[in-house]
Amino acid sequence: DIGQKVIEQAKVILEETERMQDIIHDFTQGIFGTLRLGIIPTVAPYLLPLFLHQFMRQYPDVDLTIDELQTQPIVDRLIHREIDVGILASPLNDSRFIEKPLYLEPFVAYVGRQHRLAGKKKIHVGDLSLSDLWLLKEGHCFRDQILHLCKPTMEQQKHYSVHLHFEGENLETLLNLVDKNIGMTLLPFLAAAGLKRNSRSSAGLIKEFVPPIPTRKISLVYPRSELKKRLIQALEVEILDAIPGGLRRMHRHFVVP
């Protein structure tokens, strides 16, 4: 009805007014304003602590809002301008967005001390079996990447018998299962590095892959028409300064789609 149309138009006018303010700020002032960030759950706990404190100290006039979201909700919110920028696994292959690669992150395996792979120094992709591999729930891009990684061996394993079915909402649950010598899981490198810092690796064993090493590409993603590019660039610089240098200079690897 006419009332609803008036409300919708008022929202458009308000959004455009805010965008005009962003343009003025961008050209006349320093780095300040509101930046709304969406970040996927398999990155957030491990990347945010590396750069967040320094970013807020470097840019005290920036009001940073962070939402931990799966990939598709991040994309949807970027389209509807509910957030300004996302940090996720790329490529999205969507021409509406600019993708600024931040780092390449290797996959590592986390296995129990009695697991069939516990005695190996490094493992091959062909060692993976869906019969004992814990996965995140649908909607997590890291799950999709692991399934893609396992695709060559899935046909051989299609008749395997599994008596326990579980898919986790977060990596912590999967780690707890492995700690009790139930199966194995795959982790992003920064998550595994966090385990080593916390001495948790005494419960399970971290196994690297032999080259070529499966990796994922983590990128800043934002709409091509985004006006807060100076804020986003400032965020990019702080992240690049904070991440381990080896993640920016990967050799003998391949990016899992």
For the domain that residue 15 is a member of, what is the CATH number? 3.40.190.10
The residues that bridge with 216 in the sheet, in sequence order, are: 105
Q: How many angstroms separate the CA atoms of 46 and 247, rounded?
A: 14
Q: Is the pLDDT of residue 99 over 90?
A: yes
Residue among 233, 249, 253 at smallest CA distance from 58 = 233
Write down the mean pLDDT value for the chain: 87
Same domain, 7 and 19: yes
What confidence tens digit (pLDDT) does each residue in 140-156 have?
Answer: 999 999 999 988 665 55
Q: How many domains does the chain have?
A: 2
- Is residue 100 located within the same domain as residue 32? yes
Residues spanned by the domain of 193: 105-214
pTM of the model: 0.84
Residue 181: partners with Cβ closer than 8 Å, 6 or more residues away: 112, 113, 114, 115
Task: Dump pLDDT digits (tens) for 205-256.
Answer: 999 999 999 999 999 999 998 889 999 999 999 999 999 888 887 788 999 9
Q: Which two tokens stand for residue 215?
A: 């990796």
Same-domain check for residues 98 and 225: yes
| Position 60 pLDDT exceeds 50 | yes
Q: Is there a single domain that holds both residue 14 and residue 85?
A: yes
Distance CA 206, CA 110 (A): 5
pLDDT at residue number 159: 47
